[in-house]
Structure 1
Amino acid sequence: MCQYEVIHFHCGHAGRRLIKHCHVARNTADHQCFGAWSIKREWVSANQLCQSCNQQQAVIRRAHQAQMRI
């Protein structure tokens, strides 16, 4: 059973990050786990957006900067 942590972002989304591979995944070349996984810890990331929201904000900022140059 692979172990994960869940991160709750400021934007309201949640992400999952691998903490430790299970025995089966550690012993295979591509670290595939076909079993269940467990969440070992959860935490809130204050003032941080998830990757997709962060990218979306960057696109909006670039578009706004491009309009300011015109």
Structure 2
Amino acid sequence: MCSYNKITFFCKHFEYRVAKHCHFARNDPGHQCFGAWSVKREWDEPQELCKDCVRQ
């Protein structure tokens, strides 16, 4: 099971970033995970906008 961090930005958009790959994803050349996953940590970034909002 892969673990992700969930980051919520000032614009209320959120992003998942890989915290830890599962056994299968570590061994896959593209690090693809086709199984279950979970959110390991969540935090807010109250001073930052997401990448999409910065581009606008």
Find the counterpart in structure 2 of residue 45 from structure 1. Answer: 45
Runs of 4+ in 1 over 2 A off after TM superposition: none
Of all paired residues, the percent bearing the same amino acid is 55
Tell which has more relative contact order, 1 or 2 (C-alpha 8 A, sep 6+): 2
Name the structure 2 match of 1:15. Answer: 15
Unaligned runs of 5+ in 2: none
Q: Which residue of 1 aligns with 2:3?
A: 3
Higher helix fraction (1 or 2): 1
Question: 1:26 maps to what in 2?
Answer: 26
Give the alignment's TM-score, normalised by structure 2. 0.94
Q: Which runs of 5+ in 1 are unaligned?
A: 57-70
Please give the TM-score of this superposition, normalised by the length of structure 1.
0.77
The one-letter code of the counterpart of 1:35 is G
Q: CA RMSD in A?
A: 0.6
Q: State how far apart, in whole Å, the 2-side matches of 1:34 and 1:15 are.
A: 19
User: Which structure features the higher share of strand residues?
Assistant: 2
Larger radius of gyration: 1
Q: How many residues align?
A: 56
